[in-house]
Amino acid sequence: MTSHPLILMTDPGHYEVSYQINPWMRPDAWAECAKARTEAARGASAALCAALQAAGARVEITPGRPGLPDMVFPANAAIVLDRTALMARFRHPERQGEEGPFREAFEALRARRLIDEIVTLPDGVVQEGAGDAHWDSHRQMFWTGFGPRSAKEADAVIRDVFGRPTAPLELATQQFYHLDTCLCPLPGGEVLYFPPAFTEEGRRTIAGLTDTDQRIEASPEDAATFCVNAVALGRTLVMARAPQRLKAVLAERGYRVVEIDLSPFILSGGAAFCMTLRLDHVAARTRLPLVANA
């Protein structure tokens, strides 16, 4: 059994901010100094990759495509658990062209036996991958987001395909349009989340599944700096440049924060978590029920 986390990233060579499908996206700011930003994005992506490797992960890089700049966010490509990938279907036409290339990428991963199965969503159901389906290894379930991007109906599909429980949370704002921008389950059982991103009912769901001391509330600043969008590798949390207070809170809980300047990607509304996709998450085997002797 290998213990190295396996992470997919996309080559940022075709990355740019050329359209706007979320309130953070700034095509104008990008265009002002596109050349410098392209360089900065390459550097930031390489720094993220190096930080993940330093924390013990293996990183697979898949190529991007011209005209599909948001392929740099492979968290939106699929949900992967137990070597099965449920391929995403995108809400916005701007990203729908990614579905073909990502399927090819997953077929290549399957050919190399890094995953076993590729599953397609039912017609008409939109779901934007792990960005809206965060695996919680502590609770052995998915936290799922719906509303701005993924459809509520996707939830039953996720339960069906992976045979694990889900906690569906409606996303109440356009700012926090994917679940991974406003909630991050940590390996020790804590949940870092930004309460105003959820409906009253969603906050009740979170409260119902966590103990008081497991809930870490992100501040508006933590959320706006995309620090909730973190990659957790054991006790290491890789994230964008973080506010001092958040780092102190996480350190107190025994987490080491590794910060990367991801500003070129924040200009598109994404950061560390969505620039990655874990391929190796496996659910704990359920124990076989004891059979009484006849």
The catalytic residue positions are: 178, 274
Closer to ligand ARG by Cβ: residue 10 or 22 = 22
We find the least distance from the C-beta atom of residue 35 to ligand ARG, in angstroms, to be: 20
Q: Give me the 227-266 binding string for ligand ARG, x by CB under 6 A, dash otherwise.
A: ----------------------------------------
Q: How far from chain centre, in Å, is Cα 212?
A: 24
**How many CB atoms sit inside 10 A of residue 242's CB?**
21
Q: Retrieve residue 60's tokens.
A: 């697979």
Our finding on whether 155 is near ligand ARG (CB under 6 A) is no
Among 76, 144, 150, 225, binds ligand ARG (CB under 6 A): 76
Among 131, 145, 147, 185, binds ligand ARG (CB under 6 A): 131
- d(CA 272, CA 231) in angstroms, rounded, equals 6
Among 57, 268, 272, 280, binds ligand ARG (CB under 6 A): 268
- d(CA 130, CA 277) in angstroms, rounded, equals 7
Closer to ligand ARG by Cβ: residue 131 or 264 = 131
Question: At CA 106, angle to CA 3 and CA 283, rounded to 5?
Answer: 40
Number of residues that bind ligand ARG (CB under 6 A): 16
Our finding on whether 181 is near ligand ARG (CB under 6 A) is yes
Among 270, 272, 278, 280, binds ligand ARG (CB under 6 A): 270
Place of tokens 């979320």: 22
C-alpha closest to that of 184 among 276, 114, 69, 63:
276
CA distances from 73 to 95, 116, 268 (A): 11, 22, 10
Among 238, 242, 274, 279, binds ligand ARG (CB under 6 A): 274
- d(CA 193, CA 205) in angstroms, rounded, equals 12
Our finding on whether 22 is near ligand ARG (CB under 6 A) is yes
Question: At CA 192, angle to CA 233 and CA 200, rounded to 5?
Answer: 145
Our finding on whether 21 is near ligand ARG (CB under 6 A) is yes
Amino acid present at 58: R
User: Interface with ligand ARG by CB under 6 A: which residues?
Assistant: 21-22, 25, 70, 73, 75-76, 95, 131, 178, 180-181, 268-270, 274
